[in-house]
Copies of this chain bind each other. A is one copy, B any other.
Amino acid sequence: MSEAPFAYEGLDRLLHERARLGVLTSLAGNPRGLVFSDLKRLCALTDGNLARHLQALQEAGVVEVTKSVARGRPQTLCQITPEGRRRFLEYLAVLDQVVREAAAAAKAHPDEDALPGLAGA
């Protein structure tokens, strides 16, 4: 592992996608679930995009999607699962560490860029 300190293998690939990050934050804050149309609006996603992400997350057991009929109209309820919440929190902890390390690296050498020492390295 110390051979490749920047491989970030602990950074859960399934969750590390911008749209999925939004979907999971939305669902984590609404444990009783969100209907498809509200989730779509909150994350500014298209029907097709949201459906595709939900399918991937559902197959991994991270979210649960339940279709029902409410007041005569079909309704799709999306919820984060307990396993999904646990996995999301774990991912966020790793990401937090990555952000700190990256910010420290990026801030450490702000001046040397002016004269990139191509020949002098």
Asked whether any CB of chain B lies closer than 8 Å to the CB of A52, the reply is: no
Nearest residue in B to A39 (C-beta to C-beta)? B6
Judging by beta carbons under 8 Å apart, are A95 and B89 in contact? no
CB distance from A26 to the nearest CB of B (A): 5
Bound CA span A29–B25, Å: 31
* CB pair B95 A95 closer than 8 Å: yes
**Distance, CA A25 to CA B106, complexed state (A):** 7
- A83 to B105: give the CA distance in the assembly, Å: 15
Residues in chain A within 8 A of chain B (CB atoms): 3-9, 11, 13, 16, 18, 21-26, 28-29, 31-33, 41-45, 64, 66, 77, 79-82, 85, 88-89, 92-93, 95-96, 98-99, 101-103, 105-110, 112-114, 116-118, 120-121
